[in-house]
A and B are shown apart, each in its own frame.
Chain A
Amino acid sequence: MSLLRSIAGGLRSLFRKEQVSQELGEELNDFFELAAEEKMKEGMSRKDALRAVRLERGSLEVSKEIVRSAGWEFFVETLWQDLRFAVRMLRKSPGFTTVAILTLALGIGANAAIFSMVNALVLRPLPVHAPNEVASLASQPHGLGSSNGFSYPDFEDIRDQATTVFRDMTGMQPSHMDGFSMNGQSQPIWTSYVTTNFFQVMDLQPALGTFFGPSDGGIDGSEPVLVLSYSFWKNHMGGDPNIVGRSASINGCPVTIIGVAPEGFRGIYSILDTQGYLPVGMATATLDSPKDFLTNRSVENIEILGRLKPGMNVGQAQPVLAVVGRQLSEQYPEIHKWDWLQAFPGGPLNANPQDTAVIESMAAFFLLLVGLVLVLACMNAANLLLVRAAARQPEMAVRAAFGAGRGRLARQLLTESLLLAALGCVGGIVVGVAASRSVNSINFASAIPLVFDVTFDWRVLAYAVGAALLTGVLVGMTPAVRAARRDLNPLLHESSRTSTGDRQRARSVLVVAELSGSLMLLIIAGLFVRSLRSVERSDLGFDPDHVLNLTISPTDAGYDEAQASQFLKQVLQRARALPAVESASLAATIPMGHYNYGEELKIEGYETSPGQQRPLAGYNAVSREYFRTMRIPLIRGRDFFDSDDRTSQYVAVVNEEMARRYWPNQDPIGRHFTTGKDSTHPIQVIGVVKNSRTQHLTGSFRPYFYRPLTQSYVTPVTLQLRTALPAATAFHQAVDLIHSLAPAMPVFDVQTMTQALNTLNGLLLYQVGAALTASLGTLGLLLGLVGVYGVVSYAAAQRTHEIGIRMALGAARSSVLKMILRQGLIVTAAGVLVGALLAGAIGHLARDLLAGVSPMDPLTYVCASGLLAAVSLLACYIPARRAMRVDPMVALRYE
């Protein structure tokens, strides 16, 4: 009640200023009149009485002031005054204001942009109801890396034994690409195969239709149903309101669309847009999941998400899961040797501690760098403000002389810097939005629906505003405290031009700090750019130039293996006959692509001791001429023949690493091995090729083998052409060729092999890293330049008088130039030294993000230091030259 009254009273005196003031005046006047009447009764004259009252009780005007300044509204009023004054001051020096605001806007904008990326990758919770109740499970098989893959029977056991902390659990196969056909049109669709309770556990309501019932999607292919994502329904189905109940097919299997997931639900992977959901039981019908995967405990292809009971947290789940994990390990010792079973907050991507740690350390590293940019921007703005504060000392002195309190002066300066920061913040948000737009438009060179959804949500805004506030306070604090502390009296007497050495030193320290920060950013940028170059130039083991890729999916067009083989054979024949096509071949996966196939092997004559990991190798299914198209040298043996098919001996070509590891010092040609999937057909080694990059651009080569597609059919497949033709022409011809044979055949991921390398596995991260650090480095250099220029030119201007005297006494222009430059040189040298040391420390953190370049790479250090020193000296030279041109007469006559 009284608070309301207080607010009402305050507002009244704010907006009814005249009336309130008049009323108060009347009341006070009454008071003084009455007091005077008392005195007059004692025989004083009216004039004397009024005078006596004033002495005793204070004057009317002062009393009025005292009453007025007692309420809270007085604070608001003075704040408003301060703000208006600040705006006037900023408008009076547009140059200073523009530079300061731009500096802050760049600093805050860069921060907002980087933070929005971190937000998208790490911080943003799952797009479901009560996301903090959702956790994903991972286990740590003894001696191996932790894994978030479980078998379906494991899933059921864990679900049933952890009911004390989990309300329910849902399991799913890792999402992947399927072919979706409807009305004769086919297209790729990114799907998740989930247990039928998935949407209940995620607590979602369908936008249209229904979600799965418990009996949907039987393992025998009964009740085949599909739920589409909202964005797929909108973008690919035209938002058809009658979509529910329509028939379509997934990988050639008929399905009924039963519902559409709610808007904004992109699935549970942070950067992947899951477009469709199918019951997990259907995985055997539409995919090549083993027929018994629902009962076979050694097929570990299920990710588990649990929904905690309300009020429970992940920490409470750990002991329960530890017990369950121990029991399962004891029960099935030949399958599970788990060191632990744990829950991790969030989606399945979080349940991979190693990966999460990498992403988090990368995020922390970039936040650190961009935080440094903000610090540089702050120092710049602080510097500018200090220079201005020095110039405004007489003004402050005059204001103090007129009765402004020190606190009031400090508040005025702080208001100005906060206003600057607020304007910088607005600019920063504009810069940030623009920057994250450009990140959003990164081409991931892929048909996989990656969503790098870098949008400005409240977290980013809060971060930007927080950064701006901090900036305003930090930047304004120094001048404000100085203004509050300073004894202003001498200033009124002293000439305004003599600057104290103390402040000069403070500014020099600021500039050294700025230069060292800039250099550090430059060195980091240099390291990342060099790392990108080194990865780009590294020997891939194949030649990506002039190779074109077109991915086709015969399964999506409803072809079975026999039809597909026939079709692919024709495609190859016709493609090879195209003009200027040197060679054409097929491959199930392309290097750095999104598919990776690996197999556990049993190798004739290679025994593994118990407890040792069984041999593993990656593999690719390819056609004849693959090695020629990719220019992977065949060292021994032969290429595949068209006659290698299901009826003949199963064959494989292995890479050098596989030959070296599994047949050391022996001739691998003619040896046999079998794969975990198919132990009945021994595969004979018929050739050895040189190692080439398949999944990662760095690190050691891993064992790898190639099998003919005709013996190991995989879909979709990529048609690869080596041709001298311009890419556009060749693509056109190839697509025409494919569609002349099969008009409804989906063709996607149409790109050159060089483009295809720019994937998440390939160059993309290096490119993004180099682009980010390079922009931060440029920003740092720019800020450093502004900082040095500002300080040196101010110092030179302050010394105009002194320079005039020196020159009048006979100093040569060159010696004046030297004098000014010397100061710049010292500051630059100190900045370079400190910056190099800092970069050494920070570069160490980036060790894991760099490839082919040491974090102490001398060339980078030398080049970056040279660049910074050159720019810094240039920034000194311009004001120094101006000082040199000073006309002694003018300089002396001034004042």
Chain B
Amino acid sequence: MEDKPSDLVQGTLDMFILKTLALEPMHGYGIAVRLEQMSKGVFRLNAGSLFVAFQRLQRAGLISSEWKATENSRRAKYCVLTDQGRKRLNSETQEWGRQVAAIARILEAS
């Protein structure tokens, strides 16, 4: 596990989770797999960090959860993005874009 989430920029894990859930409700393992796929294996999360983030997001009202059957008909807890979470994702994405652009300008300035 060379790339632990603690190496992520602070707060980005929450954003990733929200982004993953923007498409459809997912269960914990699904989110982990999707994140790995999207990052091409760069971010490999361990269960502890992931579930701490779930708890945090849930308490902040950004996601909610419900028990559903999985594709191979197992019962699992699915995370669902709330309206508030969607709003937050939009604003965070914009903010991120602004910051990246600003950082790029600074680094490229000579």
What is the 8 Å Cβ interface bit string for chain A, positions 3-37, against chain B (1 contact, 0 not)? Answer: 00110011000000000000010111011111101
A24's nearest neighbour on chain B, judged by CB, is: B51
**Residues in B neighbouring A31, C-beta threshold 8 A:** 27-29, 32, 47, 50-51
* B72 nearest CB across to chain A (Å): 8
Asked whether A71 is an interface residue with its Cβ less than 8 Å from the other chain, the reply is: yes
A24 to B58 Cα, complex, angstroms? 13
B55 in contact with A71 (CB, 8 Å)? yes
**Residues in B neighbouring A2, C-beta threshold 8 A:** 59-61
Asked whether B52 is an interface residue with its Cβ less than 8 Å from the other chain, the reply is: yes
Given the interface pairs A27-B51, A66-B52, the reply to whether A35 lies near B61 with Cβ below 8 Å is no
Residues A20-75 near B (CB distance < 8 A): 24, 26-28, 30-35, 37-38, 56-58, 60, 62-63, 65-67, 70-71
A63 in contact with B46 (CB, 8 Å)? yes
Contact residue among B51, B61, B77 (Cβ-Cβ distance under 8 Å from A63): B51
A70 in contact with B46 (CB, 8 Å)? no
Asked whether A1 is an interface residue with its Cβ less than 8 Å from the other chain, the reply is: yes
Total interface residues on A, CB under 8 Å, equals 29
**Residues in B neighbouring A27, C-beta threshold 8 A:** 28, 51, 76-77
* A67 nearest CB across to chain B (Å): 5
**Residues in B neighbouring A66, C-beta threshold 8 A:** 48-49, 51-52
Contact residue among A30, A57, A65 (Cβ-Cβ distance under 8 Å from B46): A57
Contact residue among B27, B46, B72, B76 (Cβ-Cβ distance under 8 Å from A58): B46
Number of A-B contacts (CB under 8 A): 79
A66 to B53 Cα, complex, angstroms? 11
A34's nearest neighbour on chain B, judged by CB, is: B29
B72's nearest neighbour on chain A, judged by CB, is: A37
A1 in contact with B77 (CB, 8 Å)? no
Given the interface pairs A28-B47, A67-B48, the reply to whether A9 lies near B55 with Cβ below 8 Å is yes
Given the interface pairs A30-B77, A34-B27, the reply to whether A62 lies near B60 with Cβ below 8 Å is no
**Residues in A neighbouring B70, C-beta threshold 8 A:** 34
B29 in contact with A70 (CB, 8 Å)? no
B44's nearest neighbour on chain A, judged by CB, is: A56
**Residues in A neighbouring B77, C-beta threshold 8 A:** 26-27, 30
* B13 nearest CB across to chain A (Å): 13
Asked whether B1 is an interface residue with its Cβ less than 8 Å from the other chain, the reply is: yes
Contact residue among A6, A33, A57, A67 (Cβ-Cβ distance under 8 Å from B52): A67
Given the interface pairs A30-B76, A33-B74, A34-B29, the reply to whether A57 lies near B59 with Cβ below 8 Å is no
Q: Which of B29, B47, B58, B76 has the most CB of A within 10 A?
A: B47
Asked whether B87 is an interface residue with its Cβ less than 8 Å from the other chain, the reply is: no
B59 in contact with A56 (CB, 8 Å)? no
A62 in contact with B58 (CB, 8 Å)? no
Top 3 A-B residue pairs of the complex, sorted by shortest distance between their CB atoms: A66-B48, A34-B29, A63-B48
Binding site for B on A (CB under 8 A): 1-2, 5-6, 9-10, 24, 26-28, 30-35, 37-38, 56-58, 60, 62-63, 65-67, 70-71
**What are 18 A-B pairs at a CB distance below 8 A?**
A2-B60, A2-B61, A5-B59, A6-B60, A9-B55, A9-B58, A10-B59, A27-B28, A27-B51, A27-B77, A28-B51, A30-B28, A31-B29, A31-B32, A31-B51, A35-B29, A60-B47, A67-B51
